A and B are shown apart, each in its own frame.
Chain A
């Protein structure tokens, strides 16, 4: 992952932006500064307010409170048609009565770009998304992936200051989606266009973004690089939403030095931590070893390049993922001991010190 260029002057700023519909709060207290060239994902389950936020940036919804600034200029009063943002819609929203080339040319026509330059830029944009030769096709005669590319070319050809992507890959099948993810990232890197992606797909957010904004119920849960958010989730919600995680009921025992104890597994506890705590560990970070938390394999599933184990332990159920390295694996019903490195777990301590990290 590329480190975020945080030193740069923010290109797009959202300052305590909120949106309420009647009594319902859709987005609350949304503050974010986006640097030039950054790729940001808004990630969350449906109804978390990510699309509403995007719509406010695009100008299709007016914020109830707060300001949105683009290059230091207040956008709130600027009409959507004057914001100069490129948008790829979930449904692609291609103009069905126009050919691919006419679709891409539309934005340039609106900018009164000369015909010669228009033709050249349309050709280049379609070539960029790998659709040379499809100029005269109508959208209805194109596949979903091709339509998606036309929509991307149409949004990029106007050289937008910010590219907004509203769940652009959600209508594609899994294989095509992966290909498009890579391609999207390459195009974005080459052009350096600042990009905001709205998605509910954590893999997509993790693999594409410089930074991820995890949202839930209208609020920002965490902002951080993909690795940070995955390794050090700031809340139980983020931990659950970004990948699978195991929650174990553990205790802090003894004093100076205090230790966190989960069955037969223990590790030094951070200073000041007391009483019962919840620790969470990612499934792929748990291993079978000679000592550790005792448990029993309840179910074992072969998944090709890895094995998935469901174990029962005195601290709660556990899911363990082990790579298929060709070695023998414990069978169903076998007694096992689970262990993990202390730095691979995060601790949530029932209200004493929320979100502490070991």
Chain B
């Protein structure tokens, strides 16, 4: 009985087309053999992908983004996992306020965070450095790592841990052998989501990045500000491909809707 009628399917078709059109167009234009923006009507060419290598700023920005993403999401986890475990396990005073604080980077517009970080790090004297970028990214991706860990920890049956304690486990052993394996799916998907958020962030990073510490989105944005040519489409196509690969893995492992909604992840 729960089938969609022809009208619903037509709507669905248009909707999916709308969602995919800009992404498909970027990927198609990237393969143009021409020297200007055009769809590859006269055969496909990889010339604009090869051209990326001749533009070291993009390559450098890619490595900055990759390192920043991996490092900031990892450090965020180191802070987030203990906090999430403590908040789900103990009667912490001011629990609600703490949770709101830890999730606040989701509520605060990134442009405001960018402005605030620029002011802060410049005042401290290390504006434009990688360290400033790293600190800012740790805070911004923290909610993603925190929320998924929190959901996993809240979904953990407390009697499992009690059982382990009654069998003689304690402290580090308890965490390493029982707690961590059980919340690992949440922790790993939290890390992956945090990585992607860091890897993609433009609005906040554009305030902090200086020549040399420009991330890929910032470099692409600044490039587009000057002119749009097929080079930036081939870079975008690479970014899309990397994200898509990440996404399929994430979906297979934990289910995309659960990862994104921050629900339990088993």
Contact = CB atoms under 8 A, between A and B. Distances in A.
B1 interface: yes
Interface string A75-100: 00000100000000000000000000
Nearest to A61: B1
Contacts of B1: 60-61, 80
Nearest to A62: B1
A80 B1 CA distance: 10
A315 to B, nearest CB: 44
Contacts of A60: 1
Contacts, number: 3
Interface in A31-64: 60-61
B142 to A, nearest CB: 34
Interface in B1-27: 1
A166 B1 CA distance: 18
A60 B1 CA distance: 6
Contacts of A61: 1
A61 B1 CA distance: 7
Interface residues of B, number: 1
Q: Is the interface of B mostly helix, strand, loop or mixed?
A: loop
Q: How large is the interface on A (under 10, 10 to 19, 20 to 34, 35 or more residues)?
A: under 10
A232 B36 CA distance: 88
Nearest to B1: A60
B1 to A, nearest CB: 6
A60 B2 CA distance: 9
A61 B3 CA distance: 12
B5 to A, nearest CB: 14
Interface string A96-113: 000000000000000000
Interface string A205-230: 00000000000000000000000000
A170 to B, nearest CB: 23
B210 to A, nearest CB: 54
A244 to B, nearest CB: 33
Nearest to B2: A60
A89 to B, nearest CB: 14
A92 B253 CA distance: 34
Nearest to A60: B1
Contacts of A80: 1
B254 to A, nearest CB: 27
B56 to A, nearest CB: 57
Nearest to A79: B1
A208 to B, nearest CB: 29
Interface in B141-180: none
Interface string B123-155: 000000000000000000000000000000000
B78 to A, nearest CB: 40
Interface in A173-213: none
A54 to B, nearest CB: 14
B64 to A, nearest CB: 50
A340 to B, nearest CB: 46
A129 B185 CA distance: 47
B29 to A, nearest CB: 44
A269 to B, nearest CB: 55
Interface in A140-181: none
A212 B125 CA distance: 84
Interface in A60-74: 60-61
B194 to A, nearest CB: 35
A61 B2 CA distance: 10
A60 B3 CA distance: 12
B227 to A, nearest CB: 54
A353 B1 CA distance: 45
A80 B2 CA distance: 13
A182 B47 CA distance: 81
Interface string A282-306: 0000000000000000000000000
Interface in A8-47: none
A58 to B, nearest CB: 10
Interface in A311-358: none
A59 B1 CA distance: 9
A56 to B, nearest CB: 12
A317 to B, nearest CB: 35
Interface in B192-213: none
B39 to A, nearest CB: 43
Nearest to A59: B1
A61 to B, nearest CB: 8
3 contacts: A60-B1, A61-B1, A80-B1
Interface of A: 60-61, 80
The 3 A-B pairs with the shortest beta carbon distances in the complex, nearest first, are A60-B1, A80-B1, A61-B1
